[in-house]
Amino acid sequence: MSPSMAVAPAMMAPPAPALPRLSIPPPPMITLPDAAVPVPPALSAARRQRVATKHKAVVVLGATGTGKSRLAIDLALRFGGEVINSDKMQLYSGLDVATNKVSPHECAGVAHHLLGVVSHPDAEFTAADFRRDATRAAAGVVARGRVPIVAGGSNSYVEELVDGDRRAFRERYDCCFLWVDAQLPVLHDFVSRRVDEMCRRGLVDEVAAAFDPRRTDYSRGIWRAIGVPELDAYLRSRGLGEGERARMLAAAVDEIKANTSRLASRQRGKIQRLARMWRVRRVDATEVFLKRGHAADEAWQRLVAGPCIDAVRSFLLEDQEEYKSSMVTASKASMFAAAVAAAVVV
């Protein structure tokens, strides 16, 4: 060996110490019953419990005249739902035109609950009564494998259902909140035209048939429905001339329109408050009310029904998608752990 290639013994590095043997315990085995569905570890225990026990419910909000019933039926037809009425006046039987109940034709075969179920016109039906009966109705809908869709203009009832009784409904159901909204000037114009249509459908004759001249209290039961107290003076004017009675009727109809517009404004204000408390999806139906006929139907599908159908589809599928995603994550984690274990020399 040439001098240039020789290495002095004092310059040679000491032998490297042996690496300690690593002992990595194997991952714990998860034993499931034969019929059990594997729960991905990527879901927290609380989330797994929620996915396993909670059902889905849809809540349709909106001021009077915005199309809540139409949307609820559209959603029920698309997703196999049943509608639970949350309009306090529509709970009563009778006065179908005055309370704007959906007709059998408009229901399109969709089951409706709590519609015309209170037989006594003077009975008081509180928000707590509604919470109790709506909760029972929703349980029945779910038991039939269908989706509960709560729709109606009495927002105090809806709030009591969702947040009352220590939020018991929320413990059982995930809720998708949809708000059909419109600019108030446009909505007021539509409400005025709708009252005229109600008159053509027999509003005055319907209220006249239920009129009792001995009645002076319109603060209870179905008698609070807009269209009933406003016609009282006209219905008492049978002894007057036709011209005077015609003027009284026109004044009553104008009062019905004004009170309905005021109701719409109050309802919209309540929904704005609820929207700050809940996660609410708002859709603007203003353009729908500015159109007529086929153009209005097309705008409804494009601006209201379509977006709400997409939102409900995502809502109904979100747990399934989360489950699938967590399964993929868990599978990748298992593959990584197996690779690490294989690379370790035991």
Q: What is the 3-state secondary structure (H, E, C) of the chain?
A: CCHHHCCCHHHCCCCCCCCCCCCCCCCCCCCCCCCCCCCCCCCCHHHHHHHHHCEEEEEEEECCCCCHHHHHHHHHHHHCEEEEECCCCCCECCCCCCCCCCCHHHHCCCCEECCCCECCCCCCCCHHHHHHHHHHHHHHHHHCCCEEEEECCCHHHHHHHHHHHHHHHHHHEEEEEEEEECCHHHHHHHHHHHHHHHHHCCHHHHHHHHCCCCCCCCCCHHHHCCCCHHHHHHHCCCCCCHHHHHHHHHHHHHHHHHHHHHHHHHHHHHHHHHHHHCCEEEEECHHHHCCCHHHHHHHHHHHHHHHHHHHHHHHHHHHHHHHHHHHHHHHHHHHHHHHHHHHCCC
- The domain limits of the chain are 52-184+269-324
Q: For residue 320, what pLDDT is reported?
A: 63
Do 147 and 141 meet the contact criterion of CB atoms below 8 Å apart? yes
Residue given tokens 């086929």 in the structure block: 294
77 Cα distance to chain centroid: 15
Whole-angstrom Cα distance, residue 144 to residue 80?
10
Asked if the model's pLDDT at residue 171 lies above 90, the reply is yes
Q: For residue 5, what pLDDT is reported?
A: 39
Q: Considering the chain, what percentage of its residues have pLDDT values greater than 90?
A: 75
For range 233-243, the mean pLDDT: 92
For range 109-120, the mean pLDDT: 97
Question: Is the pLDDT higher at 239 or at 105?
Answer: 105
Q: Could you report the per-residue pLDDT of 35-52, keeping only the tens digit for each?
A: 333 444 444 555 555 555
Q: Could you report the per-residue pLDDT of 284-333, keeping only the tens digit for each?
A: 999 999 999 999 999 999 999 999 999 999 999 986 655 455 444 445 44
The CATH number that domain 52-184+269-324 falls under is: 3.40.50.300
Least confident of 178-187, 274-283, 334-343: 334-343
Asked if the model's pLDDT at residue 336 lies above 70, the reply is no
Q: For residue 46, what pLDDT is reported?
A: 52
Least confident of 144-158, 238-252, 315-329: 315-329
Q: Could you report the per-residue pLDDT of 188-216, keeping only the tens digit for each?
A: 999 999 999 999 999 999 999 999 999 99
For range 99-106, the mean pLDDT: 95
- CA triplet 101, 102, 103: central angle to 5 degrees? 110
Average pLDDT, the chain: 84
Q: For residue 34, what pLDDT is reported?
A: 37
Q: Which amino acid is at 26?
A: P
What is the pTM assigned to this prediction? 0.79
Question: Is the pLDDT higher at 36 or at 174?
Answer: 174
For range 97-115, the mean pLDDT: 96
Q: For residue 98, what pLDDT is reported?
A: 97
